[in-house]
A and B are shown apart, each in its own frame.
Chain A
Amino acid sequence: MSVSAQLLLNSLQIGAVYVLFAMGLTIIFGVMRIVNFAHGEFFTLCALIIAVSMPWLVEGGLPLWAAYGLSFVFGLGAVTLLSLVIFRFGFMKFQRDMIGSFILSIGLVLLLQGVYLDVFGGIPRVVPPVVEGTYSIMGAAITAQRLLLCAIALVITIALYWMLTHTKLGKGLRAIAEDHEAAMLQGIPYRRITLYGFLIGSLLAAIAGGLIAPVSVPSPVIGADYLIKGFIAVIIGGLGSISGAILGSALIAVIDSVGGYYFDPSTATIAMFVLVMLVLIVRPRGILGHA
């Protein structure tokens, strides 16, 4: 095993999920100026739905990949529905209200975790890998499932970047994130674009949850770990900045990987918080954040 190659590969795998999660968090902050602490619950819901529906579909005769794909669609559908309800009856009334949205999202975390516990039970579930096998890259080991995860995360990140820079919706999202009043004066439909931004952000969390399901153990509280790290990533990178979310996620993935290797996972987590404190002291808006 080549240590540096293994650490690099580990960082890539870990970072791939954080990137999707953090981009969702940062898009929602960008367009609505709220920090959605319930973001992890979208992640959890998709992972749990896959964990529950996939065995049914496999038992029903579907091949593993088709069952995974279909249950992923169920998960995304459920998250879309949930985020529509939360947006319409919750965050829409608390846009650009940091305190109100903070209280609302913390309440939602408690409510949704309770609902998930009731509906899915507390026992961690297992999703079988869709692709089997382990590959060796430059002396480092990686499973085919994690390679697939990295590839999908990369494609989605590129597609999102392209959407934000080349499409009307992307430009609208960026304009609102930059200055929502000026954007409205230019005729950009603020409400609609904000809703789309919220939906895209939630779906990114759901995709991350769906991708992690076969390599982890989905439980009703699995989102908590990703929320903390995703939040650290966007603070380091700069709230509201897509490039910042990518950079922040890469940084915490490296800390997770290198710190976990040379020290232990607990020390790596502490190191992430130390980095956040340093960034907040030196550059409060984050490395790539705007004033």
Chain B
Amino acid sequence: MTYKWTRRGFGLIAMAALSTTALSIPAAFADEVITIGISAPMSGAAATWGLGMEYTAKEAAKAINDAGGITVDGKKYTFNVIAYDNKYNAAEGSKVAQTLLSRDNAQFVIGVGTAPVKALQSLTERKGVLLFSTAWGRDIKGPKFPLTFTQINTPNEVLVLLYPLVKGQNPNIKTVALLNPNDATGKEVTQAAKENWEKLGVEIVSTDWYERGATEFQPIAAKIAALKPDVVDLGASPAAEGGLVLKELDVIGWKGVKVIGAGTSGEAVVKVAGPAAEQTYMGLAADYDGPEATEVQHALNKGARDVIREPLNVVQMGGYDAIMALKAGIEKANSVDPKKVAEALPTAIIDTSYGKSVFGGMEIYGSPQQLQLPVIVTQVKDGKAVELKRVIPAELQKRLSSN
């Protein structure tokens, strides 16, 4: 009896399993899933960038999926976002690139940090994978890299506006001290900063480097203070490290103009530096709670405060915009082939978090791979990053009016 029951039981279980599988086949094949990989710092001083980007990218994917996904040639596609920690260095960036491209077979990826993005790009271009990047390197895009697109503003868009504004508000400034992380991002930003400050006739009195993740900044603060520069430009320093430098400069008694060219988060800098962050100019910080922010940005920012316990910054918002750009590119190309999407992207109109946008920048980069976004200059006032200037690119206005 036991034997019979067992045999019958197994039979029933097997039949049930088979019917479940059979029933689930149409459902499984009804939707195709497009995997989008993220390589971003999720630990250390720059962790906030990766954590926030993962959040915004997943929110964008969720919004698209909830609205029914994307239909290409009658087939429905949904997005799945997976993120890995590149620890903001090339070695981890290479590992993450291999994981995303070889194991997860991602055809579309998003990268943060010049060094890890360069590691990622060496594979994406070769393997025909489309890369959206927030890296500030000038040579990260151009005709040599047809599959790479940048979805945040970079030195060519930001510094040309930020530095003249700083100089205009502080006409007596004649000297600047530069301090940056000793990596690819820091080197790129230093180069861009030097060119742009020199164009304004401001003398560079020092160019210094520190290792990303460093915790002691009193010696370099003492050195900078002794040089008595009119401006200290902390370039690509993340909020934690930049904030510590500002704090140490304040302790030593240096009172000058503070700039973080690639500074993304006013709130985080204030949190670390306290009153020492006051009056700091930033080139990549936006107030997504403010009146200039869109409804989408308001909602994302509110959600981010719950999930990552911080407001969003420009780099993090790039996760949302990359996914929306991908959606627009796929729809325009009517294909999920990364090469066809890349060819279609420069003609697509994208519903970014800032509103409608396009890829442009042909005159600067030799190919239209730079997302045209408002350039926002902020300054810390009373512990908050306040928008000083917002410029809508002329190319964007022209393209949108002609469409």
B219 and A1 form a contact (CB under 8 A): no
A222 contacts the other chain (CB 8 A)? yes
Interface status of B105 (Cβ within 8 A of chain A): no
In the complex, the number of residue pairs spanning A and B with C-beta atoms less than 8 Å apart equals 121
Considering the complex, which residues of chain B in the window 203-239 have a beta carbon less than 8 Å from any beta carbon of chain A?
208-211, 213-220, 222-223, 225-226, 239
Majority secondary structure, A binding face: helix
Which stretch of A81-89, A119-127, A162-170, A171-179 is in the interface? A119-127
Chain B 242-257: CB-based contact to A (< 8 A → 1; otherwise 0): 0110000001110000
Contact between chains at B272 and A265 (CB < 8 Å):
no
B208 to A, closest residue via Cβ: A264
Q: How far is the CA of A149 from the CA of B226 in the complex (A)?
A: 25
Closest CB in chain A relative to B235 CB, distance in Å:
13
Write the nearest CB–CB distance from A274 to chain B, whole angstroms.
Answer: 15
Complex contacts, B182 vs chain A, CB 8 Å: 266
Residue from A134, A217, A258, A265 in contact with B209 in the complex, judged by beta carbons closer than 8 Å: A265
Task: Let me know if A161 is at the binding interface, CB within 8 A.
Answer: no
State how many angstroms separate the Cβ of B215 from the closest Cβ of chain A.
5
Is A111 engaged at the interface, CB distance under 8 Å to the other chain? no
Distance of A226 Cα from B211 Cα, bound (Å): 13
Q: Are B218 and A265 in contact (CB under 8 A)?
A: no
Tell me the bound Cα distance from A262 to B206 in angstroms. 11
Contact B220 A117 (CB under 8 A): no
Considering only CB atoms and an 8 Å cut-off, how many residues of chain B contact the other chain? 39
Within 8 A of B (CB), among A1-45: 1, 3, 6-7, 10, 13-14
Are B222 and A10 within 8 A (Cβ)?
yes
A141 contacts the other chain (CB 8 A): yes
Decide if A238 is an interface residue (CB 8 Å cutoff).
Answer: no
Task: Scan residues 251-265 of chain B and give those whose CB is less than 8 A from a CB of chain A.
Answer: 251-253
Q: Is B310 an interface residue (CB 8 A)?
A: yes
Instruction: Let me know if B240 and A225 touch, CB within 8 A.
Output: no
B: which residues have CB within 8 A of A? 41-45, 47-48, 50-51, 85, 182, 208-211, 213-220, 222-223, 225-226, 239-240, 243-244, 251-253, 271-272, 308-310
15 contacts between A and B (CB under 8 A): A1-B225, A7-B222, A13-B218, A122-B41, A122-B43, A123-B308, A123-B310, A124-B44, A126-B271, A141-B253, A216-B244, A221-B44, A222-B215, A261-B226, A264-B223
Assuming A225-B211, A225-B213, A260-B220, what are 9 further A-B pairs, CB within 8 angstroms? Answer: A1-B226, A7-B219, A121-B47, A121-B51, A217-B215, A217-B272, A224-B213, A264-B208, A269-B211
